[in-house]
Amino acid sequence: MKPGKQKILIIDDEPGIRDQLKWNLKDDYEVVLAADGEDGVRKTRSEKPDIVALDLTLSDGGEDNEGLLVLEEIQLLDPRIKIIIVTGNEQHDLAVMAVKMGAYDFYRKPIDFAEFRVIVERALHLQALESEAFVPTAQDDASAHEMVGSCPAMIDAYDTIKRASRTDATVLIHSESGTGKELVARALHAQSPRRECPFIVINCGAIPENLLESELFGHEKGAFTGAHKMNKGKFELANRGTVFLDEIGELGLSLQVKLLRFLQEREIERVGGREPIELDIRIVAATNKDLEEEIEKGTFRADLFYRLSVISVNLPPLRERGGDILLLANYFLQRFTQEYGSSVSEFTNDTQRLLEEYSWPGNVRELENKIRRAVIMAKKSLIIPADLGLKLRSSNGKLTLREKVEELEAKCVRESLVRSQGNIRRAAEYLGINRTTFYDMLRKYSIDQSKYKQAREV
């Protein structure tokens, strides 16, 4: 392969089309082939092509919108990839729709390869011009490529991120700890018109409340003991960019009022200051708490909740993501083997089974740490269960008495939440226990009660 060759991914279920395109393009480009949408998305993630030639119908008798779904998923992985739709005459309307969705152009079969090359060259030229205007940072790259997953819930999340990133609407991310809330916030920023401006993260639960106001809004000289000079807060430093407020549920009521005022008026006052300061900031917030439950308790303002949740993104816990577990495990395996120069190549069947059966209470963060450990600890090229540092149930595959009791207990908790539609008080009453004990059981079994609530329009 010649150095500096640009890469084209061809996604088409017809071997003849794939081979013809490869034969006509291979002298000038590196050509990668995929026979279906799933393989195409996987190779987009691993090969990072510059151009994708995408057939709209990817299987015999396949749905016409199959290619459109792949188009959306590729755009979420990297919106800078130029996608050329290859279509039949009868699919003209769908091809136009694909262009409206963000495809660069479409081309009808049968393919005239000289004309097709012109479209490719124009797409690459435009891509080069766009790259001059925006050079991605390492953080942007991470946000685009570390959100790995193809389960339905994650596809919905990707779609929401894509649509929300085009706007300045506030976004509330809800999920358990370790699921990747900050990655979502970074993806929203990296794909937005604000991407060249600051992205600032503030953990509302990690800073004492008496210091958090100054951290957010800054302070004037002499505002309090030790304030020897004027300091700008994170909001001012992030002007024209994005502020990510993690653990927003830990924010005290007095600061909730000030944040609400900013969302309404788009201005702040430094601690000890009297002059309003106008700012242009996009707010993204995240929580692992049920904020509607906190509203009922009186610890979170309803008006702030509705301001923050103009758009909501719900990330599923890892245990509910099915095949994404092995997809993520292999992604982390590839990343850490490169990082450590390891010869480890894959997981044994027993290890894969353990990865799929383990409940992953720490979610993606825990999986990432366990794969890192396994790459370091593995003595052979294959990762065995012991390398992960996780416990198998029992040698004969049967549950112990304690495991059976815990499995039944978790089942009862989930059933009570279904009956009560997520209401903690009623769910606890169904089981004949108090709310404190019920909350302890939720934490023990990593159960998210919010998913059992009746769906509401936000």
Residue 395 lies in a domain: no
Confidence of residue 141 (pLDDT cuts 50, 70, 90): very low
Cβ pair 381, 344 in contact under 8 A: yes
Residue 458 lies in a domain: no
Residue 287 lies in a domain: yes
Confidence of residue 136 (pLDDT cuts 50, 70, 90): very low
Q: What is the pLDDT of residue 430?
A: 86
Q: Which residue has the higher pLDDT, 138 or 73?
A: 73
CATH number for the domain spanning 338: value is 1.10.8.60
Q: Do 329 and 442 belong to one domain?
A: no
Please report where in the chains the tokens 């816990």 appear, as a residue: 317
Residue 412 lies in a domain: yes
Please report where in the chains the tokens 């001059």 appear, as a residue: 132
Cβ pair 256, 301 in contact under 8 A: yes
Of 298, 314, 330, the last residue of a domain is: 314
Q: What is the pLDDT of residue 403?
A: 63
Q: What is the pLDDT of residue 273?
A: 81
* pLDDT at 259 > cutoff 90: yes
Q: What is the pTM of this model?
A: 0.55
Q: Do 109 and 127 belong to one domain?
A: yes
Give the whole-number percent of the chain exceeding pLDDT 90: 28
Spatial distance between the Cα atoms of 354 and 393, rounded to a whole number of angstroms? 9
Q: What is the pLDDT of residue 219?
A: 81
Q: What is the pLDDT of residue 60?
A: 58
Cβ pair 224, 272 in contact under 8 A: yes
Spatial distance between the Cα atoms of 255 and 239, rounded to a whole number of angstroms? 19
Q: What is the pLDDT of residue 400?
A: 56
Spatial distance between the Cα atoms of 415 and 430, rounded to a whole number of angstroms? 10
Residue 189 lies in a domain: yes
Q: Do 34 and 125 belong to one domain?
A: yes
CATH number for the domain spanning 444: value is 1.10.10
Cα 109 to the center of its chain, rounded Å: 36
For residue 299, what are the CA distances in angstroms to 147, 254, 432, 455?
Answer: 32, 11, 26, 22
- Read off the pLDDT of residues 217-232 as tens digits, 9 standing for 90 and up: 988 887 777 777 888 8
Spatial distance between the Cα atoms of 316 and 329, rounded to a whole number of angstroms? 17
Number of compact structural domains in the chain: 4
Give the whole-number percent of the chain exceeding pLDDT 70: 88
Q: What is the pLDDT of residue 279?
A: 93
Q: Do 198 and 252 belong to one domain?
A: yes
Of 260, 283, 314, the last residue of a domain is: 314
- Read off the pLDDT of residues 156-169 as tens digits, 9 standing for 90 and up: 888 888 889 888 99
Residue 2 lies in a domain: no
Of 133, 166, 189, the last residue of a domain is: 133
Q: Do 300 and 330 belong to one domain?
A: no
- Read off the pLDDT of residues 364-408 as tens digits, 9 standing for 90 and up: 999 999 999 999 988 888 898 889 987 545 444 555 555 667 778
- Read off the pLDDT of residues 279-308 as tens digits, 9 standing for 90 and up: 999 999 999 999 999 999 999 999 999 999
Strands 282-287 and 242-246, by their bridges, are: parallel
- Give one DSSP letter per residue of 232-265, joined into a string: --HHHHTTTSEEEEETGGG--HHHHHHHHHHHHH
Q: What is the pLDDT of residue 309?
A: 92
Q: Do 125 and 64 belong to one domain?
A: yes
Cα 111 to the center of its chain, rounded Å: 37
CATH number for the domain spanning 88: value is 3.40.50.2300
Residue 212 lies in a domain: yes
* pLDDT at 64 > cutoff 80: no
- How many CB atoms neighbour CB 138 within 10 A? 7
Cα 1 to the center of its chain, rounded Å: 34
∠404-410-416 over CA atoms, to 5°?
135
Cβ pair 387, 373 in contact under 8 A: yes
Mean pLDDT (the chain) is 83
- How many CB atoms neighbour CB 266 within 10 A? 13
Q: Do 264 and 299 belong to one domain?
A: yes
Span of 92-96, 293-297, 430-434, 449-453 with lowest mean pLDDT: 449-453
Interior/surface letters 215-251, b for 16+ CB within 10 angstroms, e for the rest: bbbbbbeebeeebeeebebbbbebeebbbbbbbbbbb
Spatial distance between the Cα atoms of 13 and 35, rounded to a whole number of angstroms? 5
Q: State which residues form the domain around 339.
A: 319-388
Q: Do 65 and 186 belong to one domain?
A: no
Spatial distance between the Cα atoms of 19 and 13, rounded to a whole number of angstroms? 11
- Read off the pLDDT of residues 14-62 as tens digits, 9 standing for 90 and up: 888 888 899 989 888 999 999 888 888 889 888 889 999 998 877 655 5
Cis peptide before 317 (omega within 30 of 0): no
CATH number for the domain spanning 205: value is 3.40.50.300
Q: Do 259 and 212 belong to one domain?
A: yes
Spatial distance between the Cα atoms of 414 and 145, rounded to a whole number of angstroms? 34
Residue 138 lies in a domain: no
Q: Do 277 and 171 belong to one domain?
A: yes
- Order of strands, sheet of 282-287, starting from the edge strand that comes earlier in the sequence: 199-203, 242-246, 282-287, 171-174, 311-314
Q: Do 328 and 307 belong to one domain?
A: no
**Helix or strand run (H / E) with residue 9:** strand 7-11
Closest to 72 measured CA to CA, from 195, 154, 182, 170: 154
Q: What is the pLDDT of residue 456?
A: 33
Sign of the C-alpha dihedral, residues 132, 137, 140, 144? positive
Strands 277-278 and 267-268, by their bridges, are: antiparallel
Region 352-365 average pLDDT: 88
Q: Do 167 and 306 belong to one domain?
A: yes
